[in-house]
Chains A and B, each alone.
Chain A
Amino acid sequence: DTGVSQDPRHKITKRGQNVTFRCDPISEHNRLYWYRQTLGQGPEFLTYFQNEAQLEKSRLLSDRFSAERPKGSFSTLEIQRTEQGDSAMYLCASSRGGGTYNSPLHFGNGTRLTVT
């Protein structure tokens, strides 16, 4: 068990550019979550996958954001035409769940995005 890994750790980009982040969950975890955290705030839910299906998206996720989990394993989060307000820590988490059960979440170390 190598934990949840996220890549890159840091990304600096210019406004208007597209960025893509990757998350590799714990291998036996079927649930994957993306959160966004700005300075001094707790994380905010962005989206959730169960296996390859994206089951929920927050209203925070504008049309410029898209997330995929094509084979039910790793996931990508893409932000198009980045804006300065997108600067934040993007956190990925995974868990094992089904029915009413959900195991504790395991978080990655996050990708810190800075839009200049």
Chain B
Amino acid sequence: KNEVEQSPQNLTAQEGEFITINCSYSVGISALHWLQQHPGGGIVSLFMLSSGKKKHGRLIATINIQEKHSSLHITASHPRDSAVYICAAVSGGSNYKLTFGKGTLLTVNP
């Protein structure tokens, strides 16, 4: 069983819909990353958070340390948001080692 679990694995939405991607982890962490990966491989870090909530444009990330759960929300989704979204937990015993989820493939249709 992977220490970082994401749901759903695949998500299809219509443009404009509100999107939620969930991430649960079983390890103790010091921080959690949300990453975006487009076809071709490049990964972009969207957020790094260790508590509470962060917002950047139409993206919102929340984390509940007690429940070991994080969510990534996309408001007013757009076809250009189509990508794989990956959460990665920074192991509590280090401040650099990431354990990745398998990713959520998001497709936003016009």
Contact = CB atoms under 8 A, between A and B. Distances in A.
> Is B truly associated with A?
yes
Given A97-B95, A104-B33, A44 B41 contact: no
Given A42-B86, A89-B41, A110-B41, A48 B97 contact: yes
A62 interface: no
Interface residues of A, number: 29
Contacts of A107: 35, 42-45
Interface residues of B, number: 24
Interface in A46-97: 48, 56, 89, 91, 93, 95, 97
Interface in B23-76: 30-31, 33, 35, 40-45, 48
B98 A105 contact: yes
Interface of B: 4, 30-31, 33, 35, 40-45, 48, 86, 88, 90, 95-103
